[in-house]
Structure 1
Amino acid sequence: MKISRRIVFTVLGTLTLVLSPLIGVTQDNGSGSRLILVSGATGTQGGAVARALIERGFAVRGLTRNPDSERARALSALGVEMVRGDFDDTASLDAALAGTYGAYSVQQYRGIGVEAEIRQSKAFADAAKRAGVRHFVYSSVLFAHLGTRVPQFDSKVDIEEYIQSIGLPYSFVRPASFMSNFEGVRESAQAGVYRTPFPPDMARLHIAPGDIGRVVAEAFANPEIWIGRDLNLAGQRISYADIAATMGRVLGREVRYEQIPWEEYSATATPMAVSREQWFMANPVPIDLDGLHREFPGLMTIEEYLISAGWGR
Structure 2
Amino acid sequence: MTNIKHPILVFGATGKQGGSAAKALLKAGWPVRAFVQETSKAAALQLEADGVELVQGALEKTDAIRSAMKDAYGVFSVLPGNLTAEDEVRYGISIADIAAETGIKHFVYSSGASVGNQYTGIPRFDAKPRIETHVRQLDMVTTIIRPMIFMEMLVRPGFGLEKGRLISLIQPDHSIQLTATQDIGKFLVAIFADKSRFGGATLKIASDRLTGRELEAAISKAAGYPITYERFSDNVFATNADLAHMAKSLADGPLSEPLDLDILREINPELLTFASWLATFGRNALNKALSPSVR
- 1:219 CA displacement: 0.8
Cα contact 1:197–1:261 (8 A) shared by 2: no
Shift in alpha-carbon separation, 1:194–1:31, aligned structure 2, 3 A: closer
Gaps of 5+ in 2: 288-295
Out of 79, 95, 115, the position equivalent to 1:144 is: 115
Question: In the TM superposition, what whole-angstrom CA distance separates every residue of 1:13-58 from its partner, at most 9, and x where no partner exists?
Answer: xxxxxxxxxxxxxxxx225622211110011211111111122133
* Maintained 8 Å contact 1:205/1:238: yes
1:144 aligns to what SS in structure 2? Answer: coil
Where structure 1 has 5 or more consecutive residues not aligned to the other structure, the ranges are: 1-28
Greater mean alpha carbon deviation, residues 221-230 or residues 36-45? 221-230
Question: Quick one: structure 1 residues 250 and 127, their matched pair in 2 at CA, closer, same or farther if it must change by over 3 Å?
Answer: same
Quickly say closer, same or farther: Cα 1:235–1:146, change in 2 above 3 A.
farther
Query: What pairs with 1:43-62 in structure 2 (closer than 5 Å)?
Result: 43-62=15-34
Secondary structure at the counterpart of residue 176 of structure 2: strand
- Check conservation: 2:113, 2:204, Cα contact below 8 A: yes
> SS of the residue aligned with 2:262?
helix
After TM superposition, the structure 1 = structure 2 runs for residues 193-272 of structure 1, keeping only pairs within 5 Å, are 193-264=165-236, 271-272=241-242
Q: 2:290 maps to which residue?
A: none
Shift of 1:294: 3.1
| Between 80-89 and 256-265, the greater mean CA deviation after superposition | 256-265
Q: Identify which of 63, 69, 88 aligns with 1:117.
A: 88
Measured after TM superposition, the shift of residue 128 of structure 1 is 0.7
Does the CA contact (< 8 Å) of 2:32 and 2:52 recur in 1?
A: yes
Cα pair distance change 1:67/1:295, threshold 3 Å: closer
Moved more, 172-181 or 78-87: 78-87
1:164-223 CA-to-partner distances (Å, cap 9, x unmatched) read: 212121011111011122331488435421113532112111111111110011111222
Percent of aligned pairs sharing the same letter: 28
Give the direction of change, closer, same or farther, for the CA distance of 1:32–1:105 in structure 2 (3 Å limit).
closer
**Equivalent position amino acid for 2:95 in 1:** F
Q: What CA deviation, in whole Å up to 9, does each residue of 1:210-245 have, x standing for no partner?
A: 111100111112222221122111122211221121
Distance 2:220 2:127 in 1: 36
Structure 1 residue 258: Cα displacement: 2.6
Corresponding position of 1:3: none
How high is the TM-score relative to the length of structure 1?
A: 0.82
Structure 1 residue 184 corresponds to structure 2 residue 156: yes
| Cross-structure match for 1:126 | 97
Amino acid at match of 1:252: G
| Contact 2:135–2:142 (CA under 8 A) maintained in structure 1 | yes
Which residue number in structure 2 is paired with residue 274 of structure 1? 244
Who is 1:69 aligned against? 41
Distance 2:187 2:218 in 1: 25
Within the candidate set 68, 78, 84, 2:50 is matched to: 78
The partner residue of 2:274 within 274, 283, 302 is: 302
The TM-score, its normalising length taken from structure 2, stands at 0.87
- Letter in structure 2 aligned against 1:291: I
In the alignment, the residues of structure 1 paired with residue 137 and residue 24 of structure 2 have an alpha-carbon distance, to the nearest angstrom, of 29
**Aligned residue number for residue 260 of structure 2:** 288
Contact 2:110 2:144 in 1 (8 A): yes
Q: Which amino acid aligns with 2:94?
A: A
Flag the 1:82–1:35 CA change in 2: closer, same or farther, 3 A: closer
| Residue number in structure 2 paired with 1:104 | 76
One-letter code of the match for 2:12?
A: G
Q: Aligned letter for 2:156? A: G
On the 8 A contact 1:197/1:265 being kept in 2, the answer is no
* 8 Å Cα contact 1:201/1:239 also seen in 2: yes
Q: CA deviation at 1:117?
A: 0.5
Shift of 1:287: 2.1
